[in-house]
Amino acid sequence: MSYQPLKGQKALVTGASSGIGAGVALSLAAAGADVLVNYASSLAGAQKVVDQIKELGANAIAVKADVSKEDDVKAMFDEMLGTFGAIDILVNNAGLQQDAPFTEMTLAQWNTVLGINLTGMFLCTQLAVRAMIKRGIPPGSRCAGKVICMSSVHEVIPWAGHANYAASKGGVKLFMQTLAQELAPQKIRINSIGPGAIQTPINRAAWDTPEALASLLKLIPYGRIGIPEDIGNATVWLASDAADYVNGQTIFVDGGMTLYPEFADGG
Ligand code: NAD
């Protein structure tokens, strides 16, 4: 049996039917957690993750919910608490891009991205934190709950052609830090992970031809594209008591993308 720092804990991962969310759900399960696998549209994707989690010996359910819709989120948390009785870990992972030059960006593109990437975190985190406060610190844990927000290197790197996405991730930064400050007395830890380029459906165009991959690798000093497991490993650590004194931080898991790689030979 592998190291299981999250044995018996209950986790909810949004947008967990693909990409980083699926990888995070599997890493949490391998670390011993039971997982609610949220999905927006792909029941087949979510069911595959549920089956893989069960093979790891943990429990899992798939629940459909649009994180930007209050009623959906309420129903999802009812299922979480009804099935698992508590929530120890929330991973706010659901997110999307709708890219456009700023002069052509529609209000619908702006609202959709902000609604899912940022308002979705507000809705999910509020219900999670209320349940964590009500339950308090469980035996065997050092805190009442952990929230991990999937931000991006674009909470610090501006991104032309993606004003909605960059604004949403910049918003996640101060959302996360403010809640970390506000909820620390209740022994709830809130942190973010800032992925760099991770190989998932969201950025397929950036890696699915040799030319695109070569161009992407110029931005990554460590010389490889990331995989969902890289983010899963960081999530497990942040959710575990090993990170008990870590609160209000963004951990960039990016192979050095935030290190200004264009200055690597002197600028
Ligand atoms: P992805 O497209 O595979 O995953 C996004 C998931 O969010 C999908 O499963 C999608 O169904 C779900 N989703 C979208 N709208 C939803 C909604 N309204 N309600 C619930 N779920 C919804 O892409 P990914 O790369 O795995 O992205 C996961 C997160 O990581 C996103 O927040 C993204 O911004 C962030 N991120 C990804 C990268 C990367 O390089 N892949 C880099 C930085 C940040």
How many structural domains is the chain composed of? Answer: 1
* Domain presence at residue 225: yes
Q: Please tell me the distance between residue 172's alpha carbon and the centre of ligand 1 in angstroms.
A: 14
**Rounded to whole angstroms, how far apart are CA atoms 104 and 250?**
31
14 token code pair = 């949004």
Residues with CB under 6 Å of ligand 1 are 14-15, 17-21, 38, 40-41, 66-68, 93-96, 116, 150, 152, 195, 197-198, 200-203
Q: Quote the DSSP letter at residue 57.
A: T
Which of 68, 96, 216 maximizes ligand 1 atoms within 8 Å of its Cβ, making it the mutation to test the pocket?
A: 96
**What is the number of the ligand 1 atom nearest to the C-alpha of 231?**
30
* Domain presence at residue 258: no
What average pLDDT score do residues 32-48 get? Answer: 98
Q: What is the gyration radius of the CA atoms in the chain, in angstroms?
A: 18
What is the rounded average pLDDT for all residues in the chain? Answer: 97
As to burial, measured by CB atoms within 10 angstroms (0-12 exposed, 13-18 middle, 19+ buried), residue 264 is exposed
* Domain presence at residue 195: yes
What average pLDDT score do residues 60-88 get? Answer: 98
- Residue 73 amino acid letter: V
Nearest CA to ligand 1 atom 33: 95
- Report the range of poorest mean pLDDT among 1-15, 60-74, 78-92: 1-15
pLDDT at residue 74 is higher than 80? yes
* Domain presence at residue 262: no
Pure H helices in the chain? 19-30, 43-55, 70-84, 107-114, 120-135, 163-183, 210-217, 228-239
Position 3 scores a pLDDT of 85
- % of the chain beyond a pLDDT of 90: 97
* Domain presence at residue 134: yes
Q: Give the model confidence (pLDDT) of 99-150 as tens digits.
A: 999 999 999 999 999 999 999 999 999 999 999 999 999 999 999 999 999 9
Asked if 38 and 10 touch (Cβ cutoff 8 Å), the reply is no
pLDDT at residue 84 is higher than 80? yes
Annotated catalytic, 3? Answer: no
* Domain presence at residue 92: yes
pLDDT category of residue 57 using cuts at 50, 70 and 90: very high
What average pLDDT score do residues 178-201 get? Answer: 98
Domain containing residue 231: CATH number: 3.40.50.720
